[in-house]
Amino acid sequence: MKPLPQTTTIDASEARERIAARLVGRETELELILAAVAAGRNLVLEGPPGTSKTTILKAITEEWGIPLFLAEGNADLSAAKLVGHHSPARVLRDDYSADTFVPGPLAQAMTEGGFLYIEELNRAPEETLNTLLMAIADRQLVVPRFGTVTAAPTFRLVASMNPLDDVGTRRLSTSVHDRLCRLSIDYQDEQTERAIVRLRSGEAAGGALGERLTADAVAATRATREHLDLRQGSSVRGAIDLQLVSRELATLRRIESPEDERYGALLLDAMLLALSGRIQLDEVVERTPEDVLREIWEQLVAATPRSTAPG
């Protein structure tokens, strides 16, 4: 498909079907994001990690043939890093000029008409957010000793925020909220997450063992999101890693069936490896991630004994 036309509105109906074919679920979210960017709007995607936010944006920009620039929101993301800077070596040799300017992701996205995706927007300093406001409100930036950066019509700002994480974050001002559409994206249902794990892990290669591992990996990962001792559980990425690690571990231990009496120990070991670094304990809890995962494992094994078919 050709790049977005040089207007502020487009017909995205044809693109929707082709993009949706590259995703698992997320039909409604895809339609809403397409509607926003096709209407020339900027938006913030609010949801926990691993909920397909980056995947959707990559699919959209690849379909339209426009670049996607990424920036990580944190305390070190200064306005200069985002906009760009003059090369000190070039300045010493040639003095300040347009040729000494090294564009940052914001300037590049504006100039090339791409999408700028900022992860964890609410971790960025206020000065940086103010620079973004000027870019999306005026669609221009004045860079000292360089000139004016003007946004191409297809430039969009898309940002993400994790509502479950408040460490190092700041409250966004009314000015920021007023200039961004907002879409809340939550975890998908269990069947969809199983489909994602199957797709990413190649479950078919694992036969009955792979099928059982997929079911248990998704169940264990989803259980971390509901455990009372955890401030944040694992995304579906944890389930993918758990399934892949478990299969390799099964090969090393010569376990070929979920009916093998060693299957439970294999699952526990893989859970501790794949999930312990992905979960966040509540601040008042005096337990370890391993304690919580062992409890989830015990509940999972009790609920799905080896003689019971998965799912």
Q: Which of 184, 209, 240 is at the close of a domain? A: 184
Pair 276, 165 in one domain? no
pLDDT for the residue 131: 87
Residue 3 belongs to a domain: no
Stretch 252-257: mean pLDDT: 94
Q: In DSSP terms, which residues pair with 117 in a beta bridge?
A: 70, 158
Pair 244, 174 in one domain? no
pLDDT for the residue 42: 94
Q: Cα–Cα distances in Å, from 236 out to 33, 44, 242?
A: 21, 21, 10
Q: Which of 184, 218, 247 is at the close of a domain? A: 184
Pair 224, 261 in one domain? yes
Q: What sign has the CA pseudo-torsion 53, 55, 61, 64?
A: negative
User: pLDDT-derived band of residue 307, with 50, 70 and 90 as boundaries?
Assistant: very low
User: pLDDT-derived band of residue 109, with 50, 70 and 90 as boundaries?
Assistant: very high
Measured distance CA(93)–CA(88) in Å, rounded: 9
Cβ count within 10 A of residue 231: 16
pLDDT for the residue 92: 61
Pair 213, 286 in one domain? yes
Q: Is 63 helix (H, G, I), strand (E, B) or coil?
A: helix
Residue 8 belongs to a domain: no
> How many domains are contained in the chain?
2
Measured distance CA(310)–CA(190) in Å, rounded: 13
pLDDT for the residue 309: 42
Contacts of 217 (CB under 8 A, 6+ apart): 197, 239, 240, 242, 243, 246
Stretch 32-51: mean pLDDT: 90
pLDDT for the residue 103: 85
Average pLDDT value for the chain: 85
pLDDT for the residue 173: 80
Pair 166, 50 in one domain? yes
Domain CATH code at residue 254: 1.10.8
Q: Which residue range is the domain that position 202 belongs to? A: 190-303
The answer to which of 160-174, 228-242, 278-292 has the lowest mean pLDDT is: 160-174
Q: In DSSP terms, which residues pair with 45 in a beta bridge?
A: 160, 183
Pair 84, 227 in one domain? no
pLDDT tens, position by position, 169-226: 667 788 888 889 999 999 999 999 999 999 888 766 668 899 999 999 999 999 999 9
Measured distance CA(31)–CA(20) in Å, rounded: 9
Tell me: pLDDT of 164 over 70.
no
Stretch 100-106: mean pLDDT: 84
pLDDT for the residue 305: 58
Pair 173, 49 in one domain? yes
pLDDT for the residue 280: 92
Cβ count within 10 A of residue 259: 12
Q: Enter the tokens of residue 142.
A: 């004045």
Q: Which of 184, 202, 224 is at the close of a domain? A: 184
Domain CATH code at residue 83: 3.40.50.300
pLDDT for the residue 89: 67
Pair 126, 206 in one domain? no
The answer to which of 20-24, 233-237, 268-272 has the lowest mean pLDDT is: 20-24
Measured distance CA(231)–CA(307) in Å, rounded: 34
Pair 23, 80 in one domain? yes
pLDDT for the residue 302: 78
Q: Is 141 helix (H, G, I), strand (E, B) or coil?
A: strand
Which residues in 63-119 belong to E strands, given as ranges? Answer: 68-72, 84-86, 101-103, 115-119
Residue 145 belongs to a domain: yes
User: pLDDT-derived band of residue 9, with 50, 70 and 90 as boundaries?
Assistant: very low
Pair 31, 69 in one domain? yes
